[in-house]
Amino acid sequence: MSLPPGSAQGVRAAGEPAFLLAVADGMGGPAGGEIASDLAVKALQEAFLGVDGSDPVVTLKQAFRKANETIWAQGGARGGEPMGTTLTAAVVQGKFVAIASVGDSRAYLLRGPGITQVTKDHSLVAEHIASGAIKPADARMHPQRNVLTQALGLRPKLDKDLPPVYELSLLPEDRLLLCSDGFYDVVLDTELVATLRGSEAPAAASALVTLAKERGTTDNVSAVVAQAIPTRVAAAVPAAPAAASNRTTMLVAAIVVALIVVAIAVLFLIGAIG
């Protein structure tokens, strides 16, 4: 999707262009998961439409809560059939980024030779790691690795501490990755680094999805990659999601929204594929 300079579905804050990226991975059967993830993305879009001068952190929190309530209500309208979705979203404004997440879709920051997981998973395995019950290296093959402790739409209201919001500043050459959980079991962090560094943003997103599928992932794989390049030239490039493979566990559908990021000091080229 190409956007005119200074616009991203109407997202704007503090007089500087702001841009929205998101990955949602649905649960509740093929139909329910697709509905839930679609509702989550639409709630984000609606929350930021026409926003001018507001705090993106506050707007993110409001959008997640609205998404949760909408999905819960829709589940009731479908006869109470459970459905929900993970949601990881980033608002990029200049060099500043605010990231919110519920579930186990993730945001990573690639800086220099290393990669850092910005978000924390809301999953049973993550709780086991935090308590010391298992080691991080054991998480990839743990039989409960896909069991979520939090997701949008599973309860009438989100817990008061959700969603957590992470704020950071991007440097030239940084790369931001948002992705569904289909990569974790089959792609190592070192391979994430090599793939993200080896190609421009759109090609890197595509290469990550291809790699996960070649490794035999059983989950949906969707990725959004933002690349920070030192420049003052404003530009926009199209980005579009592709179809994701089906899951055999809780999460069964993935919806990706990627909007092109243009900042004053750095140009963000966004690649999205799923």
pLDDT digits (tens, 9 = 90+) for 9-48: 333 344 566 778 999 998 866 678 889 999 999 999 999 8
CA atoms within 13 A on the CB side of 63: 32
In a domain, 141, yes or no: yes
Percent of the chain topping pLDDT 90: 39
In a domain, 68, yes or no: yes
Sign, CA dihedral 43-45-46-52, equals positive
In a domain, 247, yes or no: yes
pLDDT of residue 26: 86
Q: What is the CATH number of the domain that holds 65?
A: 3.60.40.10
In a domain, 40, yes or no: yes
Distance CA 180, CA 247 (A): 11
Helices and strands in the chain: count of H runs, count of E runs? 5, 12
CA dihedral 210, 212, 218, 224 (to 10 degrees): -80
Distance CA 119, CA 108 (A): 7
Number of domains in the chain: 1
In a domain, 80, yes or no: yes
Distance CA 51, CA 33 (A): 28
In a domain, 4, yes or no: no
Q: Which residue has the higher pLDDT, 56 or 232?
A: 56
CB 211 within 8 A of CB 187: yes
Inter-CA distances, 74 with 81, 87, 156, 251, Å? 9, 17, 11, 18
Residue 261 has pLDDT above 90, yes or no: no
* pLDDT tens by residue, 196-246: 998 888 899 999 999 999 998 888 888 999 888 775 544 433 333 333 333
Distance CA 209, CA 220 (A): 9
pLDDT of residue 273: 57
pLDDT of residue 52: 63
Backbone angles phi, psi at 14, to 5 degrees: 55, 30
In a domain, 124, yes or no: yes
**β partners of residue 152:** 85
In a domain, 108, yes or no: yes
Global pTM reads 0.78
CB 65 within 8 A of CB 128: no
The overall average pLDDT reported for the chain is 75
pLDDT of residue 100: 97
Lowest mean pLDDT segment, chosen from 8-17, 90-99, 129-138, 251-260: 251-260
Domain housing 197: 12-273
Percent of the chain topping pLDDT 70: 68
Residue 90 has pLDDT above 70, yes or no: yes
Q: Which residues contact 95 (CB under 8 A, 6 or more apart)?
A: 169, 170, 171, 228, 263, 265, 266
Distance CA 47, CA 45 (A): 5
pLDDT of residue 263: 25
First and final C-alpha spacing in the chain:
15
**β partners of residue 175:** 110, 227
Q: Which residues contact 191 (CB under 8 A, 6 or more apart)?
A: 211
**Smallest Cα–Cα separation from 224: which of 238, 243, 241?**
241
Residue 68 has pLDDT above 90, yes or no: yes
pLDDT of residue 78: 63
140: confidence class by pLDDT, cuts 50, 70, 90 = low
pLDDT of residue 182: 86
